[in-house]
Amino acid sequence: MKGGKSKKRQNMNEYLLHLGEANPVTDDLISLIFHLQSNRDIYKFTLSKILFQYTTERPELMDQWLTQLPANAEVVIGIAENMGEEALQFWPRILPILEQAPRPTLRLVISLDDLNHNEIVDFVIEGYRREIATKSLFLSYDLKQYQKILVKLAGSNPDIDAFIQLRMNEQEFYELGTQVITNGTLTPSLSELLNDTLATRLIDTLATTTLSPEEVDASSANKLTIQDSQRLCKLIGLLGPTSAPHIEALMQASRPDAPVTQRDNCIWALAQSKKLTSQLQTYFEQFLSIDASELASAIDETSKKIPIKTRDDRWTLTVVDTNTYFKQRKSLSQYDGTAPDLTPLYAAAFLLKHDAGHQQAQALAEALYQADLKLIDHDGMRAVLSNSSDALEKVIMEHPTILDVSRYGIVGFTSHLRAVVAWTTPMETLASAKANKPEELNALISDGLASNRRARVINTAVLLQAMDQPLHPDHQSILVEKLGSVDLRDEVRLYLSVLAKGAPTLELVSVLQQMKSETLEADVAKTVNNMLLHFDADLGSEGSEGSMGVRVN
Amino acid sequence: MSLTFRIVPCFTLILIVSLCASTISFSKEDTPQTAEISRLVKALKKGSIPSRLEAADNLASYGAKARRAYPDLLKAMKRARKAEDVTSYLSAILAVTDDHEDAFELFLQNWMQ
């Protein structure tokens, strides 16, 4: 019954909306609308829309609304919302009634391009603080909207960030900062302010409890602390640690007796340092003396525990949100507890990135490469799997830079591949060591592409994708061959994106044309078509002889 | 003489009356605007739905000059089912007359259904 009534009300409002199209806008028509305001079946939205339409016919009416409707703030703000940027001219008059209608005001503010008005900033900060204070446990719709606006604001004006920080307490600023880091644009001063806040918070968090691996499972409070520390490390890493306190905090968080997942994130954050200081060099060098085969078996053990789900013999990704799927939580905690310690790999990667000639790091990178670790690059996983799962796509969209495997995802592969996601891989690390030796680097890449290990090929393709140079003919030939024989449809996108940097050889064009005649997913078909058109245009511009007789159908 | 005196004023009177009548009739029937409004009213009464709507739109453009179309516009509005059609007739009524009360009432009646 309730549904029927609601439907009737909706139909009535849809009908009434047409009254907005009535023209000319006579005074008694306006009186009629005012009269209708008292009808509880009429949505404020409907009234605002109608009155907005009348205002476009008779602009002088806005003045009348502002005078006559202070008691019905929602309708006035609704009219302003429909006006968009035009509403700014009335801002001083709308201001006194903003608080009476926060949600339409939010919608209005979101629709504005220019947010740098003190009144808007005040309104948004106060609203955000109120939401944090009252609904700190849940991310309410309004809180998200306030955050969205503040993230936009923080990147739009170099002065506004400090102003925002001054107005907020540490918790509020921290909550906002995490949003800005992951979803927004950081100004240098905000970056610095946030880094300090995060480092202080990390030190405080670490000080609240002792974090030994045994205690991780023993107490859920400890688990929360670990998750918080992981998150803080990642945020600092994304900002790039810049000062001694940040480095100190990260070193403390990644000390050898800390839980592995925490270490993993905090070491990664430390490796985001822009400079190789002697302190960092000494710190990272202590991790280099490990046996590569031990690490390989640890990774093997972990990968065996990755739950496998298959569907049509394709890669399938199981994205597990620990907050939602209690049943999956057990397998997640098992994974957490046995995650391999990749610190040596991260240490070698960092040292070689800053000093390609670091011999001990080189030796370890070589050993890790030869040990054939079952690792898949974080970016590679995104590139390959992003089209395989809507759920992962959603997670990536929400967390474009942070894909927290321990919290959000466990990758379940078919028998073709089981691998653990890592921030970097031995392939990438070894490539850093050979950065100044082009021939050796090319040989390494050829070896990686020709490998029969799927993860290694993917990691090599990701490396090529990131390299700022044209594709080497040898690498292109191997990739074209792989593309021609590929039964692993998920990698196609990755290979195509690498081959787009290549030359339009006869082999490549014919493989593309062959693909074109097959049934492809829409985005792949589009990429193939674009590449063929692009190559054909290139060849055409070089002369008719250059087109090798290949034509795009 | 006496007959002549009696006939002349009679003829004059008839002439004047017929002249006046023809002038009135000419001014009423032969203004192109009036003719067009009449045609539109006729379309409003007997036309198809699209031609009724078109007629209402055109009548609105004549403003108060199309005042006499008001009863037929109201009837057309009463017959209309779609909200956008009702609004078109209402707009025409708003344009041709200052008396909107019945039209508003009709609109609200439809809206409440």
* Bridge partners, residue A314, by sequence: A311
Across the interface, do A18 and B100 touch by the CB < 8 Å criterion?
Answer: no
Q: Report phi then psi at B81, rounded to 5.
A: -110, -40
Residues of A in contact with B100 (CB under 8 A): 26, 28-29
A40: contact with B, CB 8 A cutoff: no
Nearest CA in chain A to B94: A24
CA B51 to chain CA mean position, Å:
16
Q: Distance from B111 to chain A by nearest Cα, in Å?
A: 6
Q: Are A142 and A131 in contact (CB under 8 A)?
A: yes
Do residue A18 and residue B83 have CB atoms under 8 angstroms apart?
A: yes
Of B86, B87, B94, the CB nearest to A26: B94
* Measured CA distances, B113 to A13, A16, A311, B82, B108 (Å): 12, 12, 52, 12, 9
For B90, which of A12, A14, A22 is closest by C-beta distance? A22
Best of A9, A14, A15, A27 to mutate (most B CBs within 10 Å, chain B): A15
pLDDT in tens, A18-73: 999 998 999 899 888 888 888 888 888 899 999 999 999 998 888 888 887 666 78
Cβ atoms within 10 Å, residue A393:
16
Greatest distance between any 2 Cα atoms in chain B = 80
Does A502 or B3 have the greater pLDDT score?
A: A502
Query: Which comes out higher in pLDDT, residue A143 or A58?
Result: A58
Contact B100 A28 (CB under 8 A): yes
Q: Does B64 touch chain A (CB under 8 A)?
A: no
Q: How many CB atoms lie within 10 A of CB A355?
A: 15
Q: Please name the residue ranges forming H helices in A188-243.
A: 188-208, 213-218, 220-239
Catalogue the E-assigned strands of A268-424: 318-319, 375-377, 409-410, 420-422
- Kind and range of the H or E run holding A22: none
List CB contacts (< 8 A) between A24 and chain B.
91, 94-95
pLDDT tens-digit readout, A86-107: 888 888 888 777 777 777 888 8
Q: Is B103 on the interface with A (CB under 8 A)?
A: no
What DSSP designation does A471 have?
P
CA A140/CA A18 separation, integer angstroms: 33
Contacts of B104 in chain A (CB under 8 A): 28-29, 32
Per-residue confidence (pLDDT) for residue A538, from 0 to 100? 65
Question: How many angstroms separate the most distant Cα atoms in chain A?
Answer: 88
Query: pLDDT value at position A521?
Result: 73
CB nearest A19 (choices: B87, B95, B112): B87
Would the pTM of this model clear 0.80, i.e. be above it?
no
